[in-house]
Amino acid sequence: MRTDADARRRATLSAALGFCQLQPTPQTPEIAALQRWMMTWRGIGYIVTGMERQGYALALRKLVDDGWNAAFEEHRLLAPVATANAPTPFRAVIDAAWKALNAKPMPTPGQAMVEEVL
């Protein structure tokens, strides 16, 4: 069961990740500062902790071609909810977390029919 604190944490995490999706400009130095901070190991640690509180686990892999792959999973035996490949581990984690928080849940078989009846 989600509490108000969980909802606030999710909103804060979502806002920070959303700002990391923006292109910084000279008129928005705050966005550049947030992105510089988030693209550190400490920033990634905060993202991973926040995502764990939302029920996700991170799998981070170094790729052979010097890139990185990040995947957020709700369960280790299931397919990842979201993945991202990037040149740096920071960008891969940020992009995968953003995708995971904004992923639409897949309907289970028969769910659509039940919802239509209700």
Burial of 49 (0-12, 13-18, 19+ CB in 10 A): exposed
* Rounded Cα gap, residues 51 and 100, in angstroms: 9
Sign of CA dihedral 47, 53, 56, 60: positive
Can you give the pLDDT at residue 117?
A: 47
| CA-wise closest residue to 50 among 20, 2, 80, 17 | 17
First to last CA, the chain: 23
Can you give the pLDDT at residue 66?
A: 83
**Tokens at 9, concatenated:** 């944490």
* Rounded Cα gap, residues 107 and 93, in angstroms: 26
Can you give the pLDDT at residue 5?
A: 85
Can you give the pLDDT at residue 111?
A: 56
Residue pLDDT tens, the chain, 118 long: 568 888 899 999 999 999 999 998 999 899 999 999 999 999 999 999 999 999 999 999 999 888 999 999 987 777 889 999 999 999 999 999 999 999 876 666 665 554 444 4
